[in-house]
Amino acid sequence: MKPGNILKVKGKIPVDTVGFSINLGCNSRDLALHFNPRFNESVIVCNSKCSDCWQTEHRDHHLSFYRGSTVKFFIEMLSDKFRVKLPDGHEVYFPNRHGYRKINYVSIHGGLKMVSFRLS
């Protein structure tokens, strides 16, 4: 993934999940974007990780999707930030703190059962 690319993730959120995360970076220790909806807190947390150390969280209280739903997320890598388009059209922006020009690591953890995954 590089600036200008959009990652499209579609998945089903189980009714009993607490949350999930979509992670983009170089490896599990160096993440440019940690997108983490937390249903128990009704918040979306975005963060980055450098040498296995978490940095300052960004919290967005626009949690417009719910447990038991099927969702689509569009994650666009811009030159200086990431734009995550939520299922209702709301956008969450998070800075590319590490200045990455290329993302070669993607992981999804927790309560999101992936239906489809596409990079364009």
Q: What is the pLDDT of residues 53-81, one digit of tens each?
A: 999 999 999 999 999 999 999 999 999 99
Domain region containing 46: 5-119
CA distances from 92 to 29, 40, 115, 120 (A): 23, 19, 22, 19
What pLDDT does residue 62 have?
Answer: 93
Interval 26-51 mean pLDDT: 97
Chain center to CA of 60: 12
Considering its fold, how many domains does the chain have in total? Answer: 1
Burial of 82 (0-12, 13-18, 19+ CB in 10 A): buried
51 band by pLDDT with thresholds 50, 70 and 90: very high
Which residues, 6+ apart, have CB-to-CB distance to 41 below 8 Å? none
26-42 residues labelled b (16+ CB within 10 A) or e (exposed): eeeebbbbbbbbbbeee
**φ, ψ (nearest 5 deg) of residue 54:** -70, 150
Instruction: Cite the DSSP H helix spans in 43-112.
Output: none
Burial of 11 (0-12, 13-18, 19+ CB in 10 A): buried
Average model confidence (pLDDT) for the chain?
96
Interval 30-54 mean pLDDT: 97
27 band by pLDDT with thresholds 50, 70 and 90: very high
Q: What is the CATH number of the domain that holds 21?
A: 2.60.120.200
Q: Which two tokens stand for residue 83?
A: 């734009």
